[in-house]
Amino acid sequence: MPVRSSTTSVSIFASLALLLTGCASSSTDVASVETATPTPNETTSEPRETPTTATPTPDVPTESPTTEAPSVDQAITDAVVEYTDAYFAGDWDIAFTKFWSERCKADNTERNGFVGTLAAQEYLYPEGSPRPVAVDVEIDRVAGSVATVSYGYRSSTESGTIDAQSWVLEDDQWRYDGC
């Protein structure tokens, strides 16, 4: 994982911590998926009933835009951002419990390394200190329930990149699968 750093030992330790947690690049090869654009509902040429009131009733969409599910790319991006925030905050309940895939959770070595990394986050990023956030999230590929994502992380004291990180869709939630 190429890491650009603007600090000394703290960034080196943070980079080592990232490597220990399995945040390094994955070489999972995933085929691209083409998605079809849905066509809008066609109107029929059959006559409509005329309303009995003097004011015509406008056509109302069947679904409100606020009820639509986020796009796949947006759902993956949201998961990456939330996972990165939780990771650098040392938040086990979010980073591990919510965002690690079942496959990664079952890997004792990966899990134990992650426990150590999250514990180190309190030392590296004490409450109120600048913590890195995900930036420039790019969805490299999506094939069904598998995706690869590249992104950066940045704070006022450090920055780095994550290339081709594996993610998997489990139970309608995109989860980190780069262990």
Mean pLDDT for the stretch of residues 140-162: 96
Q: Which domains does the chain have, with CATH numbers?
A: 9-26+71-176 (3.10.450.50)
**Confidence class of residue 13 from pLDDT cuts 50, 70 and 90?**
very low
Mean pLDDT for the stretch of residues 170-174: 97
**Confidence (pLDDT) at 122:** 85
Most confident segment among 1-10, 17-26, 57-66, 82-91? 82-91
Q: Beta 133-143 vs 173-176: how paired, if at all?
A: unpaired
**Confidence class of residue 100 from pLDDT cuts 50, 70 and 90?**
very high
**Confidence (pLDDT) at 177:** 97
**Confidence (pLDDT) at 46:** 40
Q: Indicate the average pLDDT of the chain.
A: 74
Residue that wins the pLDDT comparison between 18 and 160: 160
CA distances from 49 to 15, 57, 59, 134, 157 (A): 68, 11, 13, 54, 66
Edge-to-edge strand order for the sheet containing 133-143?
A: 133-143, 146-154, 159-170, 173-176
- 135: pLDDT strictly greater than 90: yes
HEC profile for the chain?
A: CCCCCCCCHHHHHHHHHHHHHCCCCCCCCCCCCCCCCCCCCCCCCCCCCCCCCCCCCCCCCCCCHHHCCCCHHHHHHHHHHHHHHHHHHCCHHHHHHHCECHHHHCCHHHHHHHHHHHHHHHHHCCCCCCCCEEEEEEEEEEECCEEEEEEEEECCCCEEEEEEEEEEEECCEEEECCC
